[in-house]
Chains A and B, each alone.
Chain A
Amino acid sequence: MDIGDCYVGWATDEDIRTRGASGGLVTAMLAAALEKGLVEAVVVLKKLGEFEAVPVVTSDPEEVKAAAGSMHSVPIVLSRYLEYGTKVALPAKPCDARSTIEQAKRGQVDIDTTYIVGLNCGGTMHPAGTRDMLDVMYKLDPNDIEGEEIDKGKLIFETKDGKEHAIKIDELEEEGYGRRESCQYCAVNIPTMADIACGNWGVIGDLAGKGTFVEINTTKGIAILENAINAGAVEITPADDKGKAIRAKVDGAMMKVAAAANEKYLSPIEGSHLDYYMNALANCINCGACKTVCPVCACGETAKCTEFSSASDTYKMSLFHLVRFVHLMDSCIGCGQCTDVCPVDIPLTHIYRRFAEPMQEEFEYKPGMDMTTPPFFGVDLIEEGH
């Protein structure tokens, strides 16, 4: 098994196969890693309801097997749950993986003991927004929903009476529902930065729906997959070229949609920029929630943004936000958590992206994609040999 190899795999356990999605490979792999002692803990998503899930750290393989992924989970800030150096396996969307890598660069997470099992992601939805959407767009009672899936550009909800209700995602997003805004313009769908990238794209023929496409990205990826195979929890077969091509095609199509959304949302501001930003931030109540959830902020309790600003300032703009703007120009991964948690609904991710996007493009630096690229302030100094 080598880095760059692609396989299609599935769980050997019948039960995991039927309950998990796409053959249950990820669940089986995580459970095997715990059982064989490769890791001490696994982060799983525990469903709170049909629309919400919370990340839970567990060392019980049964709990891993019982856990099911959810479309509505928010990105995981791993360093908040675990002590540095804990051997852990983390199923991760691309933004989870990128945030974990950024935390590792800042000494918050030990990347050598963190197995990132990447999952393809086409976007997530906000729990409260989803309830709203069901009410307004689908005319359904949110409590009647039993399952959901995305297929061929449609978002499908299944109600308890077994009926399926489908609406095109484009239509939903035009009305302001559907995926979170940051997901709409996120162009990273396949977690190539994770140790191992899993997903159902590219699984074709007889295996469609019954297997998971796996791409190995690092030696840690080999370790976790081989561990599962040796434990007899997983079976794999090499992926064929047609499957690989289909996977790349799906990714390409998603990236195109994301680029279009990016252009739409981050179109130039009309009128005075300063007025726009002052209006957008006018409602800020200085709660600091955006900083608390930010996965790339490793400053802790006493940070430059909080120490140099106070609620009694009478400046035209809050220094807290100005410092955060500079701070995030080189490191914002656009995960969207700041917007989600803002109690006064300031579109923070949107604003941060406006600052970060041109800079990250200019320096051709995408944060969280690999460990070899340090946060930007360090990059040039190393390159120039200073």
Chain B
Amino acid sequence: MAETTATGTTSEEWQPKIVMFCCNWCSYGGADSAGMGRFQQPPTVRVIRVMCSGRMDPVFILNAFLEGADGVLFSGCHIGDCHYVNGNYKATIKYKFLKAMVNELGIEDERLKLDWISASEGERYAQVVTEFTEQIKKAGPSPLKPEGVV
């Protein structure tokens, strides 16, 4: 049964699986705002809440890819707004390393993205998710996806 989704596509078209890590204080609130404000977004994202973007461990991201995620987004408070002083700054350093690593590994680096979304930016949240989904759709299924995983 063809079901129309927010982006106007049908479910017969391949839908990427995206894992999104949101920080408790900003981006998770941003996701709430997006829902409250009824901003349309594709249902491709599985949100996992972490206390801070600085909590993001490279292991989480690598594991998401190995488990079959087509893309990984992680998001936190804007630089300077971190609830824990400099957690998001630490996240940028890890992101730099992960980006270089994902590149060298041969996974297209557009599959990994770090963005800042504050709790009030519901619209921006929807926009980031939409854009990222489009990006992953272009890239296709992840080469690291285990066999049998859709």
Interface residue ranges, A against B (CB under 8 Å): 272-277, 304, 308, 313-317, 319, 322-323, 325-326, 329-330, 354-355, 358-359, 362, 376-377, 380-381, 384, 386
A-B pairs, top 10 by smallest CB distance, nearest first, are A273-B106, A274-B106, A315-B66, A386-B86, A326-B58, A322-B62, A316-B144, A308-B59, A274-B143, A355-B104
Which residues of A have CB within 8 Å of B146?
314-316
The residue that A323 contacts in the complex, of B59, B67, B105, B144, with Cβ under 8 A, is B59
**CB of B90 closer than 8 Å to a CB of A:** yes
In the complex with contacts A274-B105, A316-B146, A323-B89 CB distance below 8 A: no
Which residues of B have CB within 8 Å of A276?
106
**CB of B1 closer than 8 Å to a CB of A:** no
In the complex with contacts A314-B146, A326-B97, A377-B93, A319-B104 CB distance below 8 A: no
Judge whether B104 and A273 touch: CB under 8 Å: yes
Judge whether B86 and A323 touch: CB under 8 Å: no
Nearest chain A CB to B56 CB, angstrom units = 12
Which residues of B have CB within 8 Å of A275?
106
Judge whether A273 and B105 touch: CB under 8 Å: yes
Judge whether B66 and A317 touch: CB under 8 Å: yes
Which residues of B have CB within 8 Å of A313?
66
Size bracket of the B interface: 20 to 34
- How far is it, in angstroms, between the C-alpha of A22 and the C-alpha of B144 when the chains are bound? 55
A-B contact pairs, 7 of them (CB 8 A): A274-B143, A274-B144, A308-B63, A315-B144, A316-B144, A376-B93, A377-B90
Closest residue of chain A to B86, judged by CB? A386
In the complex with contacts A274-B143, A316-B66, A386-B86, A329-B97 CB distance below 8 A: yes
Judge whether B104 and A358 touch: CB under 8 Å: yes
The contact string, 1 if C-beta is below 8 Å from chain A, for chain B 46-90, is 000000000001110011001100000000000000000110011
- How far is it, in angstroms, between the C-alpha of A329 and the C-alpha of B107 when the chains are bound? 17
- How far is it, in angstroms, between the C-alpha of A154 and the C-alpha of B105 when the chains are bound? 38
Which residues of B have CB within 8 Å of A272?
106, 143
Nearest chain A CB to B17 CB, angstrom units = 16
Which residues of B have CB within 8 Å of A326?
58, 62, 97-98, 101
Which residues of B have CB within 8 Å of A359?
97, 100
Nearest chain A CB to B22 CB, angstrom units = 21
- How far is it, in angstroms, between the C-alpha of A380 and the C-alpha of B146 when the chains are bound? 36
- How far is it, in angstroms, between the C-alpha of A290 and the C-alpha of B100 when the chains are bound? 23
Which residues of B have CB within 8 Å of A380?
89, 93
Nearest chain B CB to A126 CB, angstrom units = 27
- How far is it, in angstroms, between the C-alpha of A283 and the C-alpha of B145 when the chains are bound? 20
Nearest chain B CB to A167 CB, angstrom units = 36
Which residues of A have CB within 8 Å of B93?
376-377, 380-381
